[in-house]
Amino acid sequence: MLSKNVYLIYPPGYSGSYLSWCISKSEKDSSITTVDNPLNVSDNKQYGGSGTSHLHYRIPTHSTIKEIMYWLILNQPKKKKIFLVNGWDNGTITTTINTIMNFDRDPVIIHITADNHYARCIGNLNAITKWPLYFHAREFNKKYNIDFFNLNNDIETRNKFVEYYDDIFPISFSLSRPTEDSFNLDFLREYYNYWFTLRNEHNPHEVNGEHYVIPYEKPKYFYSIDLMTIFDNSIFDIFESIVSESELGNFNFDFAKNYHSTYINAQSNLKFKDEIFMFRHTKTLNEYLCSHPLLQALTIKEMMADIPNIEWKNKTLLEIVKVYNDTMGP
């Protein structure tokens, strides 16, 4: 069984359920009760869009750290578990890590990131096509007057995705600072450290290491995994390193390794990277890039990287591409 709790922190669309399945299917004891095939192959509200791993038993479900703490208080599990924690921007992710450090003495924390622009695009395409419920849960349907369950592939919806992209769609950049290998947790940790130290000094019978977590600055076992790495066989080298270093349990990843290609082949949004690279090379639209309002928005943002003031709001994608080609030349 697991020797420590595992916290997978990621936004919807970042394959966290699949990583949870890989861990659960590869650990000696949990492998027996973990499904052989976690893949959902049809669109439905219960298991999300096609390509999710939601046939894998996920208790507690993917939720914020607050809801997970509610679940812990209500259910009081005795065994260590894998927790799927929703973090949709670096603020919520940092707060989540700080919170875990306040109630778990020895966690294994895995943060799924998308530092690469195209990785984030694929994560966001996954989120909107596999799990539109997320956007309604955050009430973006009301804020932007968009029904994410029944998207219109029209100019109005496309334009909202261009203008409000950073607000609507999750961000999960790595938390390491540009100049040093540390987390941006200083302010959050400072309060807990101050509270614990002050109370322990004056009331050591009430506040001590037996009843509370003794403050520590960084999790001992913290790992960042880039989304695109998940779609590569090297993910299992990373997993094997993590479970070995953290002494997480008795693992054998052979079954998951053999299954991995099945999961990758079901990820239709991986096509985006090749298609947008081809567009940059040929400057020619195809049916795929026109097929969804977010795909259209991402194509527009690709052109705006070259021509920031390009006219786009009142034009079809085909018309914008014509302006783009006329401006850029051969």
Query: 210-220 pLDDT, tens per residue?
Result: 999 999 988 99
In single-letter form, the type of residue at position 124 comes to: N
Separation of alpha carbons 46 and 327, rounded Å = 47
pLDDT value of position 48: 84
pTM reported for the whole predicted model = 0.94
Q: Which of 152, 167, 166 is nearest to 293 (CA)?
A: 152
**How many CB atoms sit inside 10 A of residue 239's CB?**
22
pLDDT value of position 180: 44
Separation of alpha carbons 213 and 169, rounded Å = 34
Which residues of the chain are under the pLDDT cut of 70?
177-184, 330
Separation of alpha carbons 157 and 135, rounded Å = 14
pLDDT value of position 176: 72
pLDDT value of position 185: 79
pLDDT value of position 274: 96
176, 178, 180, 184 alpha-carbon torsion, rounded to 10°: -40
Order of all β-strands in the sheet with 6-10: 82-86, 6-10, 108-113, 221-226
Q: What does the domain layout of the chain look like in residue ranges? A: 6-267, 271-328
In the structure encoding, which two tokens stand for residue 264, read together? 């990758």
Separation of alpha carbons 109 and 115, rounded Å = 18
Decide: 9 and 83 in contact? Cβ < 8 Å. Answer: no
Q: Which of 108, 101, 107 is nearest to 193 (CA)?
A: 101
